[in-house]
Chains A and B, each alone.
Chain A
Amino acid sequence: MRERGRSGARLLVVDDNKVNRLLLKRNLELMGHDAALAENGRAALEMLRRETFDLLLLDIEMPEMDGFQVLEQIRNDLQLRDLPVIVTSTLEGVDNIVRCIELGAEDYLQKPVNPALLKARIGASLEKKRLRDQQKELVRRFATPEVAQELQQSGFALGGKRVRGTVMFSDIRDFTPLAEVQAPEDTIELLNTYYTLMFNAISGHGGIVSEIAGDGLMAVFGAPLPLPDHCDAAVRTALEMIEMIDLFNVDQVAAGKAPIRIGIGIASGEMVAGYTGTNDRATYTCIGDTVNVAARLEAHTKVAGRAILIDGATRAGLRESIQLEGLGPVTIRGKAQPVDVFSVK
């Protein structure tokens, strides 16, 4: 008996032809994978809904339920939609291959399948699945359960919808010189701790982190799920973030390391929220004027010498009493009208 290799995956082979089934199973086992067999689409779907598989190798020409119908069912099934499918067939006509891809198949291999090619395609598919699983795990970890579930259910359709919400930008002050004087390992560790603290504060108040780049991050309150008090939530988050950084700095200084400072910009209003990117790699983000204002305010914290700056719309939306200091109208790039800016104490 051959043992499952370290990288061994569990695959389902669907083919109505016995010779094809046995040969594919043999090839997969020689690669260290575990293969289960189904004779037609209907049997395959039953197995997919009963057991867990990492990948599906699907024939198209089959009685009972053909491969096209299987692809359609998988695409409409929330539990199965992320399962990678490689079509192995001797289909005649490019239009049939195109149809497979359009129905969500990840790859197409002509039969008789070349074992080396099969190995490479399966490896690539499993790697992509691993990354997708990782992204799902990130969403699960960094967003509230409600948001994660909404993301899961709404699927990853590209395109946006108009929402009212609050956007926050935050970054570490003087990060580049800091990164230059310390070891790269220390920088990575610092960023990981920083992000863990910030993500925790953001998701704790119902926000989601939509982008991180270097030492900066963008968070959204009010999308994808509406948040009635998105202005308060964002400002409360900012205050908690500053508090967390202060605590973090106590440790930094105790360890003989440099303390860090952050700047936060917050703006509220209408924006377009949704997935941007391609079907393979998309991020949930928001675009629009509100986003630009928040980014500019974050940059303005350096000029103003304040840690947290919010716009007039955020101030108007606050329900709780939060101590603010008016800094007057500020002209920011990309806006014709000056923006009323307030500093949060």
Chain B
Amino acid sequence: MIVIPDFSQDFFALFGLRRAYRIDAAQLDQAYHEMQGRVHPDRHAHLPETERRLSMQWATQVNEAYRTLKKPLLRAHYLLRLAGAETDHENNTAMSPAFLMEQMEWREAVAEARAAGEHHELEKLMQRLERHGGEILAEVERSLDAKKDYEMAADAVRRLMFIEKLEHEIQDALEALESQD
């Protein structure tokens, strides 16, 4: 007998976690594996078509829930949504001029390092950016978990989205340099 997960609850409840930004990653992994162990299509491959289709749907939802909680930025987004505070990232592009300035500087540094073929420099930029992202994530955690200040959290999440985009740019640049080797 399969115990079907209750998909009407939020993702935190689904995995038996407290609804907060700070989560126990090992506990999430374990809950995810345990749940996929029950619903995954491989467990139902010998059953009739209907069961197999249902199992695919369950497994799909469990994967989606896991991915949302696993990635810090998605998790923060999701918490804001649950709290009714959208980040409104499609429309709200009003970032502080200081932040935008900083972004431009980062971007220029990446472009320069790429043009000069500075593999090492790109890696250093990546490390700095990751540290910077980590600091903002700490801010997110403080404003979500301690202060419950969703406006502040949403602002930090918007900044993180810029950072993530930059990280992708650095990765692309690194791969481009490597394939020239």
* A and B interact physically: no
